Amino acid sequence: MKYLLIEALHPQIDDVTEKILDVYRRLKEQREPINIIVVDYQPELTKLAQDYRIDLDDIWQLADIVQRTKGYRHEPRWFWDLPRAPKTELYSDFTWGEIKAGSLRLAWFDYFEHISTAWRFVRQVKYYNRREEPRMIAEYDYRGFVSRQKMVRNEAVYQADYFDETGLEALTVLYNQDQQPYLWLRRDGMRNTTAYPSQLALQTAVLTEALQLDDRPEMYTVGESQLIDDLMASASLTLTARIDVTDTTWQWVPERGVQPAHDGLVVTIMTHSDSDERLKAAVTAAKTAGATQIHLLRMFNPTDYQTALVADDMIDDHVVEWTLWSEKEVLAYELADTDLLLTVSDSNPVGGIYAYAMAVKLPVVNISNDAQSRPYLDGMTGQRVPIERLSHAVDVVLQQANLAD
């Protein structure tokens, strides 16, 4: 698994954020499994991920591990869901109201404002006593629960409590007279407490815990960060790569020719929007040739037959956007472990795949409407044949490539 370790996801696009999104989208286009790990505490992370079109399964923060909320989904909390006194008046700017909670009478509101609508959801509620002195600040996660409560005395924070979505305490941070944190008490939900002398010690333990099932994590980061460097060193992890924000040459995909080791015959069938008849013939030919795995490489909007193929345990469904079919980096990734390529189209952009396959000496057979059977290029391992000659062409190509049984 690849992990992109970042300090925070910024609400405004800057160079670092742009590069983070660029790396993430490139990996998603190439079907690489990727998790973005956010080190800082960000109760608004779900909102930012949605704004940036990041899959919520692909991004989480260390706080999610501490608070036992990794993978939790819920709608934001509306203002009118708060327990208000009957005669509460919320002004038009949604910044003031009254909450009756024991001796805490007055409350000040802050809110998440949805980009595409005028909806406003609770971000923070500051509670005051009858003398209008602040006593507590409740901070809401965008997923609708109180994530952190800061206890205040004489305008100074002396304790911060972090909660899971049910309201159980997950972490308590104690502050000294200078409002500097000095002790982190982590609770596991079963009355067990672990004390940490520093935030780095807590983050190290949490990151190690989160990665414990991955014996070969690939760690990446964007730009320079002392926080990330300290955390990686403390957790005894090594960065696979540090991606500079100005780096335009960095690529994730391997060069074709350095093929992953695999057993059996792997066949990739590349199809466009042509008839299913040739695709059916390609699947049959691949299985007849002894394929142990078949990759279906296609665009969006599959036909009913293409959709049905996904139910076949032998067939993996890969989707590539139209604009990426000519990207050699994408092809290098998608075809990295392919032994034989069958193409089911006469049209572009699929036609451009032939030249790439031949250039990297990948055996290829094109199932064409052309009635003539001929080698694709002199001295190369390839055929362009009609359906009725497909099986023979596959046998010939595999023999030429020394892949026949």
Give residue 159's pLDDT.
96
Contact 307, 334 (CB under 8 A): no
Q: pTM to 2 decimals?
A: 0.57
Q: How many residues does the chain have?
A: 405
Residue indicated by tokens 């591990």: 65
Give residue 87's pLDDT.
31
Nearest to 239 by CA among 252, 222, 220: 220
| Residue-range domain boundaries for the chain | 2-70+201-243, 79-196, 265-400
Phi/psi at 7 (5° precision): -70, -50
The architecture that CATH gives domain 2-70+201-243 is 3-Layer(aba) Sandwich (3.40)
CB atoms within 10 A of CB 93: 9
Nearest to 17 by CA among 42, 43, 40, 48: 48
Contact 206, 62 (CB under 8 A): yes
Give residue 253's pLDDT.
37
Kindly give the residue spans of alpha helices, DSSP state H, lying in 110-152: none
The token pair at 202 is: 């807590």
Q: List the chain pLDDT tens, one digit each, 405 residues.
A: 889 999 999 887 788 888 888 888 877 776 778 999 999 999 989 988 888 888 899 999 999 999 999 999 887 766 555 544 333 333 333 333 444 444 444 445 555 544 333 445 677 777 777 777 788 888 888 888 889 999 999 889 999 999 999 999 999 999 999 999 999 999 987 778 999 999 999 999 999 999 988 888 889 999 899 999 999 999 999 888 888 887 664 443 334 444 556 678 888 888 765 567 888 888 888 888 888 888 887 765 667 777 777 677 677 766 655 444 445 556 766 777 888 888 876 554 455 566 567 666 788 888 876 655 554 443 345 677 778 888 888 888 888 777 665
On the question of a common fold for 2-70+201-243 and 265-400, the answer reads: yes
SS3 (DSSP) at 149: strand
Query: Strands, E, within 210-351: which ranges?
Result: 218-222, 239-243, 265-271, 291-298, 315-319, 340-344
Question: Domain 265-400 is in which class?
Answer: alpha beta
Contact 141, 128 (CB under 8 A): no
Give helix then strand counts, H and E, for the chain: 10, 21
